[in-house]
Amino acid sequence: MPEPPVPFVGRDGEVARLAEQLSFGRSPVSRSKVVVLHGPPGVGKSALAAEVARAVAGSRGRRVHWISVGDTPSAETAILRLLAEHAAPRREIVEAALMDDREFSERLRRQCAENIRGSVIVLDDVGPEYGLSLVQALGPGLNQVIITSRHESRCGDANAYLHAVRPLDAQDALQLVKHLSRAEPEDGIRSAENEFVSAAQGLPALLRIAGLILRPPFTPPRLAVNTTAALVALAWDRLDVAEKDLLQRLAVWGPGGPFTLRSVEALLWENGRQAEAQRILDGLARYGLVHEVREGAFSLPSPLVDAVLPLMSGYELSRLKGRVRTDLLAAARDAAWDTAGLHDRATGFWHLRAEKRAGIGYAGIGTAPAPVSAITMRGVEEPYPHDVLDHRFVSVDASEVYVRGSGRAGAHSDHLRPESAHLLLSLADHSR
């Protein structure tokens, strides 16, 4: 869950009302255990959701389950992640995945009803096509669910409480800017504060940029700053070449959810600046162009994407999209996870014939340009710790699973085995 923004202003009354709306117990019929926070990008929906979730969970000391739905390809993906966080048995899910779509959906609903109860769940950045299906899958009244969305969606059909998140008023906006700027109340600063607050239009993401630009030593701009684009351009002019390049790449990539330092390293693959990733990222954070939402995880405020992309011509934008796609693929190919079975003789034979050495499917990774994490394939109910998979090269010995004379032996490609599916799902869980 994102760390609370400092300061968190102008929303205390909303937090109290929404927490009361979600309260368990003998509540009036008008109260709902699903709240939808909707509003334009950058208005502060996620920050408000985090504060409401803390207020609701804090009274009972419960964990908050936060899922960034914007970076998932389907509602089922978000549900699978929630089931994993609730330690739901994986075997039934893996077996259901081999059945038809209808049976798979029914199994997921049953698993949700059995394993996800009494939880505080935040579904962040939900598209209009996912909201209702997610609420229905989680079951009516079993959990306290907070949804953020740019649209009202159809969650009202599931008795959800719809709450429009508005921009901060002028007084709260000015308070936020003053707190972040740490500037003395001089005439020049006061004039710029009012101008920047007006340009930010009450959006907290832009107000934070305004406050950080105003930190001493501050030089008043030569041109008027009366639009959001002009405010972002003012921060843009303070960046060096590498920082501008990364900001453009992040805007083109549009991760949709939190990203990490490793994501930034992948984006910088082409120009070999991976070692500078932290410095460049810190440069963007200095002016609020990226936010550290929790330790090691960052986000790019949505209004920045809309402001940065027009800074490029159509040709430059198209060219950069191609470069970003190439860099991400190159970074992905530079990491490898493989499964190996000692009885997978066919692969081993042909590798020995063609390359004069054992193949991956036969003996696992041999030499590699980085340390290899060598582990044993686990049963479906035995989890894979994060630290055994978080390596560029992971070699999984599947000899105990793929044994001679017992069905398929292609350890390197048989994703139909429950154990192989468990390994792939665990890798996906940790990758997110």
Task: Give the global pTM.
Answer: 0.74
User: Is 121:139 a contact under the CB 8 Å cutoff?
Assistant: no
Cβ neighbours of residue 18 under 8 Å, at least 6 residues apart?
A: 35, 37, 48, 52, 146, 161, 163
Q: What are phi and psi of 284, to 5 degrees?
A: -70, -40
Give dist(CA 382, CA 284) in Å, integer: 41
- In this prediction, residue 273 has a pLDDT band, given cuts at 50, 70 and 90, of low
Query: Options 1.10.287, 1.10.10, 1.20.58, 1.10.3470; which CATH number does 242-331 get?
Result: 1.10.10
Cβ neighbours of residue 114 under 8 Å, at least 6 residues apart?
A: 88
Instruction: Return the percentage of the chain with pLDDT > 90, whole number.
Output: 10
Instruction: Return the percentage of the chain with pLDDT > 70, whole number.
Output: 78
Residue 352 confidence (pLDDT) above 60: no
Of 215-224, 309-318, 336-345, 362-371, minimum mean pLDDT range = 336-345
The per-residue pLDDT for 167 is 93
Most confident residue range from 5-14, 58-67, 357-366: 5-14
User: Is 228:301 a contact under the CB 8 Å cutoff?
Assistant: no
| Region 85-112 average pLDDT | 81
- Report domain extents, the chain: 12-164, 170-236, 242-331, 336-431
| Region 135-159 average pLDDT | 78
Which tens digit of pLDDT belongs to each residue from 180-197?
887 666 656 777 888 888
The per-residue pLDDT for 166 is 92
Going by their DSSP bridges, the two strands 297-299 and 291-294 should be labelled as antiparallel
Length of the chain: 432
Write out the H or E segment, with its range, that includes residue 230. helix 228-236
Amino acid at 302: S
CATH superfamily of 12-164: P-loop containing nucleotide triphosphate hydrolases (3.40.50.300)
Are the folds of 12-164 and 242-331 the same?
no
Residue 30 confidence (pLDDT) above 50: no
The per-residue pLDDT for 409 is 46
Residue 366 confidence (pLDDT) above 50: yes
Residue 122 confidence (pLDDT) above 80: yes
Closest CA to 267 of 354, 326, 340, 351: 326
Most confident residue range from 72-86, 313-327, 377-391: 313-327
User: Is 338:328 a contact under the CB 8 Å cutoff?
Assistant: no
The per-residue pLDDT for 360 is 47
Over the chain, what is the mean pLDDT? 78
Which tens digit of pLDDT belongs to each residue from 315-340?
889 998 888 888 877 776 666 555 55
Residue 390 confidence (pLDDT) above 80: no
Question: 42 to each of 303, 367, 421, how far by Cα in Å?
Answer: 6, 48, 38
Residue 365 confidence (pLDDT) above 60: no
Write out the H or E segment, with its range, that includes residue 66. strand 64-68
What one-character-per-residue DSSP string does 156-209 give? Answer: GGGTPEEEEPPPPPHHHHHHHHHHHH-----HHHHHHHHHHHHHHTT-HHHHHH
